Copies of this chain bind each other. A is one copy, B any other.
């Protein structure tokens, strides 16, 4: 019998001493670097001092570090990682069998921790640096709740205060997410609240509003910058977050190398870009250094298609337009995906690292409708056991499509995709899918053009 027939190895676990001890900073290997964050007032690159009002000092250094390829992971962070890492690299034998494909499919599964996703990788790092700086606590916003859950776990571990502004509609519709955060000791405030100036203003202007991520960010930033001993933390988009998430890609590469497996295609879902960027960093690094060649595919939802239909310009990272400007593929900071889109991946822009790699041709992108994504999720769940998060299911759909192409051509390609999390808190969406009431929502060209027309005409924005 072949290994395929015997289905071994099914899961590749690294031992604890094989885990990465350094993050990999892909920017160091990029000849053309991602564009710097700009101060929206001066349109000059944000300085460490300016960023230090909002973010922890060491995270600011990481944000600005474009030269060091490797940055040590402090022992305290590695100790926490060992509570749920290394995460398994799983061979999807059952899915291969079901698809009758000659392709070999592997997935890196990040869902086996209580936050349910890869977000914990960066949450624990950010909480550690906040603690090290002697801060009392951190603030953040959360929509779907994965990031808020991860951060509350991390703060609980380090004894930091954690203040989460949760978009009011999610606060009410996702009480279970809220309760996980409270169990870990976080305070969770529905946003807009009456605790901040910006919250009061929005409540006065729009009575009965159910909030937005942009508003929650503004509230979290206001509390962080106006409270002694607090800083603001963010769970995606930033280069520091991609740096922390590189543990996903590093572990994947170590596991593949250990078994002498060379991937042909690497697939990740893309919202703000933290999971995709983390997964592909070491592989993109090899490409940038001319050591290897891979196809890297970013999969996004058709309802929020920043890479496939956005524009590569400077834009605000938040709807409230209080954050620095980032050069990124964007649909415009005022773009709001249709509310009938169930999962995450609703961010209007894309991490500047991923955007630049995409612009340089190292990454391809494709977009799927949510009903086909949930069909892929169901197919995967039924044969591979795991109930995937809607976000992760975009990558599943991408992997299935590539595997079916191999079936046509007979090519034995090796596909690796990132399974970022579990769908236990997304069952309202699964119910819609099960009931056949889920619909797709694809913005029209006019929608996108109208949103992009609102992007301010910063210098350089005309060029593309």
Contacts and interface: CB of A to CB of B under 8 A. Distances in A.
Given A114-B386, A157-B383, 18 more contacts: A8-B16, A10-B82, A11-B83, A83-B385, A84-B385, A94-B157, A112-B112, A114-B387, A153-B385, A157-B382, A157-B385, A175-B431, A179-B430, A180-B424, A182-B431, A183-B430, A184-B382, A185-B382
- Copies of this protein in the complex: 2
Given A7-B82, A16-B9, A175-B427, A114 B383 contact: no
A441 interface: no
Given A8-B16, A10-B83, A16-B11, A431 B386 contact: no
A176 B176 CA distance: 11
Given A7-B79, A83-B10, A431-B175, A113 B381 contact: no
A59 to B, nearest CB: 22
B382 A156 contact: yes
A386 B384 CA distance: 23
Interface in A373-402: 378, 381-387
Interface of A: 7-11, 13, 16, 79-80, 82-84, 90, 94, 112-114, 116, 153, 156-157, 175-176, 179-180, 182-185, 378, 381-387, 422, 424-425, 427-428, 430-431, 433-434
Given A16-B8, A83-B10, A114 B381 contact: yes
Contacts of A382: 156-157, 183-185
B79 A434 contact: no
A13 B13 contact: yes
Contacts of A431: 175, 179, 182
Given A9-B16, A382-B157, A183 B82 contact: no
Contact of A184 (B175, B182, B381): B381
Contact of A425 (B16, B182, B385, B424): B424
A386 to B, nearest CB: 5
A76 B84 CA distance: 28
21 contacts: A11-B16, A13-B13, A80-B385, A83-B384, A83-B385, A84-B385, A114-B381, A153-B385, A157-B382, A175-B427, A176-B424, A176-B427, A176-B428, A179-B428, A180-B427, A180-B430, A183-B382, A183-B387, A184-B381, A184-B382, A185-B382
